[in-house]
Amino acid sequence: MIRTYKSCIIKILLLFFINIIFINGALAAHIESADSAYKTGHYDQAVTLYNEILKNEGSSSELYYNLGNAYAKIGDYGNAVLCYLRSLRLDPSNKNAKENLNYIESKVIETNNSELKDKKLSLDAENPSFFYSVRMFISENHLSDTWAIWALVCFLVFIACLSCYLFCKNVIIRKIGFFGGIFFIFISILTLIFSFIASSYKSNQGVIISPKVKLLSEASSNSKENPVFLTRGTRMTILDIYPTDSNEPKWYKVRLNSDFVGWIEASDFIPVDK
Amino acid sequence: MSRRSSVLLMLLISVIGYMTGASINLSVSPQRGKNHIEVGDMFYLYITLTDIDQAPNRPNLTGAKLAYFDRTSQQSSFQSVNGVTSKSYKATYTATLRAEKEGTFSYGPISIGGIKSNQVKYSIGPKSSQSNVYNAQNTNTSTDDDSKPKFIGKGDGNLFLKATVSESTAFELQALVYTVKLYTTYDAIKFIGATAAPKFDGFVVEESKDISNSLTFETYQGKNYATAIIARYIIFPQITGNLKITGNTYTISVDRREYYHDAFWGNMSYSTPLQLNVTPNDLIINVKALPEPKPVDFSGGVGTFSISSELNNSDFKTNQAASIIYKVHGTGNIKYVQLPDLSALYPPELEVYSPKTSQNISVGSTSVSGDVTFDYSFMPLDEGNFNIPEVKFVYFNPESARYETSIAKGYVISVGKGADNGNKLLKKLKFDSQLQNVSIKSLRKEYSTYNKSFLYWLGYIIPSILLLLIYLIYLRYAALHADMISFNSRRADKLARKRLKKAHTALKNGNSDKFYDELLVALWGYLSDKLKMPTSELMRENIRNMMMSKNVSDNLVEMFINLIDEAEFAKYSSVNGSDNMIKIYNEAINTINTIEKELKK
């Protein structure tokens, strides 16, 4: 009786592992075929394959980076910028994604400037406010988990300091324990708050993905438009969303600077965070 | 004999003459200088009568209007051979007609005095578009053949245009020169104007401004002409096959000199102005495709070229632009040559920008030559030694019918650290095309953060609880410990007596070793309990200090220490009398009792 029970468990475990190996093997082959499509220069095929993995298996910073590279190679700078931004949202320390994002955005700026010609409009994005840059530092430059780990480490150091204070008889060690404890519990609480801020943060950035887009003064297709086209890959700040009846966004009010504020259709624009 | 035969021959001829005589012949001819009749043209109908005395009626031709009809020539002959007189008579009537309708018509036969004529056919064509005001002076000697110049002028061509091309068979993209040359015998050319550009189908055309206005003299088909080149085009065939160049029409005003004989002045001349519309001959060029396979890095150049490179800077720094100049010199379609993509050729640490191109091209009579300068600027992004590779310029040489290569030399540059002046435009920018490894484990559909996981919070809870527990245990232990010490202190003499009893039994048994051991344990234990100090920390000096602080008199402490000393001395010495043991035992009991008494005070 016991033996059959044991063998049953073993069978279930075995099945479970085989399943994992099989699924992982298929997925690895999937990723590999996408990589090789990219390496042999079939970039549009690589785009389709990476997007499939993204849809079926989930995302990672590296996957978004690779997809961004494939988009950049076929000249779709809009989606490339979007992918690099998403890659950086998942891992702000991804140096290559940052470099490629800068490179593609410099190309986008070139295209925008050539469209600008001699019109007296500015295309420089505004410098973020102090409050916003603090928020960016907390939420975009660091992951919520990074803050959480710092909070935990500081808490453990606080525990160590506290035990020094409680159990030691040497006065100097007890003093260090007391003040160190106060310091570290303060840092721990602060970073824990940061971690919550970062985890609830939603980027208000978005990217133009249609080749050429004009900003409209109102959320309707026959309103006055800005005379200058913005090319795909231009990053803009979302100010407002005009939803459809089914609560899907239909128009976004976006802003680059005081010269470029207006409405843009949802089919031309994708926000970084959904 | 010979005389008789000649007479016979004469007779025969005259008989034939009589027999064939009396005939009417009709013929139609277009106006002079043309070989067909067009609407609006004048044309002529000749009626030749032989041996008919009557005059024909005024002819009435369909599609034409009679303008004038008269006898234009008449001849008669009389022959008398051996007394036989024969008379022959021939008259030609000419009808001048104006063609009015298009079509093919016929006239005749007509009959005069019972003699029938032949029938003539004539066709009137549509009015040609190129008819001109001065068509009276225009004579086309050979208009059938398009490839020959159209002679315009009196009779044998006093003015014509001749088109030539430098090669009649050429390769695709090969530079050809199309020249229009004017040949004239007229005195003065007052004006030359083209009504349109020549039609070059399948060519890229560059008009050459290199035309000299001076006349040169040339013999063409045995006649001296003044010649001038009036147009020159550089043409590049873009497609293969037989390509046709259709000449355009030029309007040329000239002075024509007329000579006449004056009875008084002798030979005189005057000039009359004349306007002519002239078209040069058409040309057909056989264009061959470039041989396959074309080299991968073919520059598109057809001709002979050479490339050279020149590096201006000698000092390179990161983020500081430098320039390299490639100069392509040669003959051919030099304007259309391209360099290979340098950004792919150069190491990725050198960023290459699109070049500034300048051209210095001159058009000769048979070729186009000159040089094209590509001024590339590049920016080193990294420090170190970099290799600027050789640049291969592959072109097609139509003379050898082979692809040839010219190489611009490469350089090795060493880049030093440049000023990092924070200029945004000069920031290190390059596209990293390497892929990153996607690990399967890192793929997530849902992202949850640590601060929402219970496991993370366990990291806070467990250490906190552990610390609390340990602290509670510590407090408890401390309290317990404090109790034990005061208890022991109170019971110190009782414990000492208990141990002394053990020493006493050892004394009774005469076991001196055990006796001293127990005695010492009792003495040290007593002190330890009394002073709340572990036995290990007890030393003679701190015993003295501690006892003093507890108001135990000096000599009593001395006694106690002496007792311990004595016991220890006795333990390790051989002197082990039972008297000594009893003495020390009593002393110990007495000392403890007095200490107890003193402490209770």
Rounded to a whole number of angstroms, the distance from the CA of A155 to the nearest CA of chain B is 7
Q: How far apart are CA B339 and CA B324, in angstroms?
A: 13
Rounded to a whole number of angstroms, the distance from the CA of A145 to the nearest CA of chain B is 6
Q: Do A60 and B444 touch (CB under 8 A)?
A: yes
Per-block mean pLDDT, blocks of 10 residues, chain B (601 long): 56 49 82 74 83 81 81 78 77 84 83 82 73 36 43 57 83 84 78 77 76 74 80 84 83 76 76 78 86 80 88 78 87 82 77 82 76 86 81 86 87 77 51 80 80 90 93 88 74 78 80 80 80 73 76 79 81 70 82 77 61
Q: How many CA atoms lie within 13 A of B116 on its CB side?
A: 6
Map tokens 């290990």 to a residue: B536
Mutation target among B428, B435, B469 for the A interface, most CBs of A within 10 A: B435
Q: What values do phi and psi take at B64, rounded to 5? A: -145, 155
Q: Name every residue whose Cβ is closer than 8 Å to that of residue B320 and which is 6 or more positions away in sequence.
A: B379, B380, B418, B419
* Residue whose C-alpha is closest to residue A100's, from A119, A114, A80: A80
Q: How far apart are CA A196 and CA B424, in angstroms?
A: 34
pLDDT recorded at residue A80: 92
B212, B257 Cβ separation under 8 angstroms: no
Q: Where are the beta strands (DSSP E) in B238-297?
A: 241-246, 250-262, 266-278, 283-288
How distant is the alpha carbon of residue B322 from its chain centre?
Answer: 21
Collapsing DSSP states into helix, strand and coil, what is residue B289? coil
B70-85 pLDDT per residue, tens: 777 778 777 777 777 7
Which pair of tokens denotes residue B412?
């090795």
Q: How far apart are CA B281 and CA B247, in angstroms?
A: 6
Q: How far apart are CA A230 and CA B143, in angstroms?
A: 63
What single letter denotes the amino acid at residue B79?
Q
In chain A, the residue whose alpha carbon lies closest to the alpha carbon of B431 is A100
Q: Do A73 and B444 touch (CB under 8 A)?
A: no
How distant is the alpha carbon of residue B195 from its chain centre?
Answer: 38
Q: Do A195 and B459 touch (CB under 8 A)?
A: no
B407, B374 Cβ separation under 8 angstroms: no
Per-block mean pLDDT, blocks of 10 residues, chain A (274 long): 59 63 72 88 88 87 91 88 91 89 85 75 81 88 90 94 89 92 95 92 88 82 76 88 81 86 88 84
A70, A48 Cβ separation under 8 angstroms: no
Does any CB of chain A come closer than 8 Å to the CB of residue B296? Answer: no
Cis peptide before B534 (omega within 30 of 0): no
pLDDT recorded at residue B212: 65
Does any CB of chain B come closer than 8 Å to the CB of residue A35? Answer: yes
Map tokens 């055309």 to a residue: B205
* Residue whose C-alpha is closest to residue B527's, from B571, B488, B582: B488
| DSSP element (H, E) containing A88 | helix A77-90
Say which DSSP state A129 is in: P
| DSSP element (H, E) containing A230 | strand A230-231
Interface ipTM > 0.85 = no
- Could you count the other beta carbons within 10 Å of the beta carbon of residue A256? 22
Model pTM above 0.80: no
Q: Name every residue whose Cβ is closer than 8 Å to that of residue B542 and which is 6 or more positions away in sequence.
A: B533
pLDDT recorded at residue B317: 81
Which pair of tokens denotes residue B440?
């399967």
Rounded to a whole number of angstroms, the distance from the CA of B376 to the nearest CA of chain A is 19
**How many residues belong to chain B?**
601
In chain B, the residue whose alpha carbon lies closest to the alpha carbon of A35 is B435
Please spell the DSSP secondary structure of B377-416, one letter per residue: EEEE-S-EEEEE--EEEEEEETTTTEEEEEEE--EEEEEE
Mutation target among A53, A71, A103 for the B interface, most CBs of B within 10 A: A103
Does any CB of chain B come closer than 8 Å to the CB of residue A31? Answer: yes
Which pair of tokens denotes residue B195?
């009504």
pLDDT recorded at residue A128: 81
Q: Do B463 and A163 touch (CB under 8 A)?
A: no
